[in-house]
Chain A
Amino acid sequence: MDINEIIKPENMVYTKPRLMNDNPMHYCPGCSHGVVHKLIAEVIDEMGIEEETIGIAPVGCAVFAYNYLDIDWIEAAHGRAPAIASAVKRLNPKKMVFTYQGDGDLAAIGTAETIHACNRGENIAIIFINNGIYGMTGGQMAPTTLEGMKTSTCPYGRNVALNGYPLRIAELVERVDGTCYVTRQSVHTPASIRKAKKAIRLAFENAMAGKGTSLVEIVSTCNSGWKMSPVKANKWMEENMFAKYPMGDLKNV
């Protein structure tokens, strides 16, 4: 069969989501952010809520998320996205409001905003990208950096005596009464991507249904920061990150 007979619109089974525009993404080759962006775009499209959705972008690598998804966006100060989302949702209770945050943004400078938004049970979805490193600023230690893991500010490996322990945010907010759904996912294989999409969909549905706060942690790679190829970074993540940050639902009420 000639390939041109296959490549016809009616035979299309997968393409870039409609809500992801053609702007070239600034992310490094192989970065997990792009995959998660696609999933969010698909979920918004499938739920038919693009006109009602407001995204809150973080400071960090995903600071320019607003350039890639064709919805209304607010750029937050570092770590403040959950506070901003709280107000946007309370002032517009019928809208879909979500934050998209990295580990420095959410788990270091924005820990207070995160925990208190969760504790108030704000009807928002928090998408948390945990790759154990500060990507945007050039690969410094994050609160989620693994013990012994090397970054530019712990060049000999994270030493708990000096730097404390890797912070498990999902376990923290699971204990907070305002959360209805806390899950940890990854996007490194087709199967994990399908599961992560279902998790994001549930988080968005919870927000629209007013069930409380949902937090979807995506354990991700930063192959540039980790100084590995994208394929090797995925393998390293499976072998090292998943032990500290195990996959699966922590809470689903």
Chain B
Amino acid sequence: MANIKGAVVVNKERCKGCDLCVAACPCQVLALQPTEVNDKGYHYAFMQNPDACIGCASCGLVCPDGCITVYKVKL
């Protein structure tokens, strides 16, 4: 998988911090903000470990609120 590189962009204001993307990620890329919250008061998701992302889009699929856009390149 080393020749694939992905990235996740979270619409942080739309995110409700449900944690489902964090649980779905096979590479432990995502986490919820430990302290920071969005305007709604949610600890939104972010890429804690961006280098591990393979662009599999599991996070995007499970996100109920459509907050996640996923990008992927083949190196």
Our verdict on whether A and B bind, yes or no, reads: yes
Task: Point out residues on A near B: beta carbons under 8 Å.
Answer: 1, 3, 5-8, 11-17, 20, 22, 24-25, 27-35, 38, 187-190, 193-194, 229-231, 234
Minimum CB–CB distance from A130 to chain B (whole Å) comes to 16
Q: How far is the CA of A190 from the CA of B58 in the complex (A)?
A: 5
CB–CB B20/A230 < 8 A = yes
User: Given the known A-B contacts A6-B73, A14-B69, A29-B18, are A35 and B62 also in contact in the complex, defined by CB atoms under 8 Å?
Assistant: yes
Q: Which of A5, A30, A189 has the most CB of B within 10 A?
A: A30
User: Given the known A-B contacts A29-B16, A189-B24, are A1 and B64 also in contact in the complex, defined by CB atoms under 8 Å?
Assistant: no
Q: Which of A3, A24, A25, A189 has the most CB of B within 10 A?
A: A3
User: Given the known A-B contacts A6-B5, A7-B7, A231-B23, are A1 and B73 also in contact in the complex, defined by CB atoms under 8 Å?
Assistant: yes
CB–CB A1/B5 < 8 A = yes
Interface size on B, residues (CB 8 A): 34
Return the CB mask of B39-75 against A: 1 if under 8 Å, else 0.
0001000000010000111101111111111111101
Q: Which of B6, B11, B19 contacts A231 (CB 8 A)?
A: B19
User: Given the known A-B contacts A30-B18, A30-B20, A190-B24, are A25 and B65 also in contact in the complex, defined by CB atoms under 8 Å?
Assistant: yes
